Chain A
Amino acid sequence: MNDAEIRAVALATLKSIAPEIEEDELRGDHPLRRQVDLDSMDWLNFLLGLHDKLKVEIPEADYAKLVTLDEVVAYLAAKSP
């Protein structure tokens, strides 16, 4: 899967949790949780959704690396089978 495909999966997962988001207004290099109102359970569900769709294991210790959408995509691309 290439970066664009992974980004599309990430956005679809995000939309399933926060249907109100406007993709065009999301900045990939800004902290995601500042732009989208995600509480800690939303965040957990977001990562769980990515795990289910992409079969990527995300240890809790790595959560700190996943701040922006760009970082999430890069992380998943590196770990994606």
Chain B
Amino acid sequence: MIEFKLPSLGADMDDGRLLEWKVQPGDVVKKGQVVAIVDTSKTAVDVESWQEGTVAELIVVPGEKIPVGTVLATFLEPGEKPGTARPAPRPAGLPTLAAPAGTPSPGTRRMVSPAARKHAQEKGLDIATIAGTGPRGAVTLEDVERQAAIKPSGPAGVPVGKNAEMRRAIAAAMARSKREIPHYYVAESIPMGAALAWLTQENARRPMGERLLPAALLLKAVALALQRFPELNGFFRDGAFQAAAKVHLGVAISMRAGGLIAPALLAAESKPLTQLMQELTDLVKRCRAGSLKSSEISEPTITVTNLGDQGSESVFGVIYPPQVALVGFGRIADRPWAENGGLKLMPAVTASLSADHRVSDGHRGALFLIEVRELLQRPEEFDK
């Protein structure tokens, strides 16, 4: 018997609310399959299963708020027969949803359109409390709008619902970071002339849908450089650092309604630029629509914050625990640049590193940024 538990989806998550089951008793579940949608304080997350099995029992009911580690459902292991295992422990007071294998029961599944979920999030409404009038009881955008019209929002200027929860979650994680992690900071001005010239040439021959943003180059350079600086990529847990084998690059994405989430571009070091750009586009889209996968939320091994062309000149970030480093990029802008005894105009970006002094030192941190700078002088070699 496999216990499918509510995973922790980050340092700022203590509990979550089950929104919807994506499987029924009797369904065969594959590794990586989305099994449930859980609302965290920041966003709705598609929770994946990391084991194979057949759904035996759905224990938690949609709408229920449960702490991290709660058994949500039980699966039969491949080859296991129903009834041969002892029944799973069930939190007291929770009604059961179990149905005999092979007979999916209608009504247990809460259908919510993505637009409705997003709108409810923005309005700070709990989707579980909204009656659905769509096909098979689905909650539609109209249902949410009707509910939003009834429910008065808070006083002007005071964040309500999701925004307040988001702020609390960020506060908890950042306060923990500043309390526990002795940060050090280094910064480096990186000339971007070569990278932008290459990008312009590259984009001129690409169809619109495949054009690259400078952000893709910056992210790729960080991922490649990290392969030589394992002390910046991993987790500090239980008093010790564990380096990660792959670079799961957390990308700080600002939400339009305020706050931010930093889901991962998985194994960024091994992906070609075009793929990385497509995955970045998709990640931003899904992040803002509230349909991230649990692996993307729980697995970043380092975070990059890129302020982009509307941002300020430089940024020094706060490390997201249990990670041990954060790389920040300011706005790329023309600057006076001294080179070969002369002065010229050069597009440049300030890269910064905030890192955990328990794990690395400023000297290594500085060498890392120099490696990023050197890589960005030869973007044509990224995919080699």
Contacts and interface: CB of A to CB of B under 8 A. Distances in A.
Instruction: Decide whether A and B assemble into one complex.
Output: yes
Interface of A: 18-20, 33, 37-41, 44-45, 47-48, 51, 57-61
A61 B204 contact: yes
B99 interface: no
Given A19-B256, A45-B281, A40 B213 contact: yes
B320 to A, nearest CB: 20
Contacts of A39: 254, 308-310
Contacts of A59: 204
Interface of B: 122, 200, 203-204, 208-209, 211, 213-215, 254, 256-257, 280-281, 284-285, 308-310
Majority SS at the chain B contact face: helix
17 contacts: A20-B256, A37-B256, A39-B254, A39-B309, A40-B213, A41-B281, A44-B213, A44-B281, A47-B208, A48-B208, A51-B208, A58-B208, A59-B204, A60-B200, A60-B203, A60-B204, A61-B200
A40 B215 contact: yes
A80 to B, nearest CB: 16
A51 B211 CA distance: 13
A9 B284 CA distance: 23
Contacts of A60: 200, 203-204, 211
B68 to A, nearest CB: 31
Contacts of A18: 256
B318 to A, nearest CB: 20
Given A20-B256, A60-B200, A60-B204, A33 B213 contact: no
B208 A41 contact: no
Contact of A41 (B200, B204, B257, B280): B280
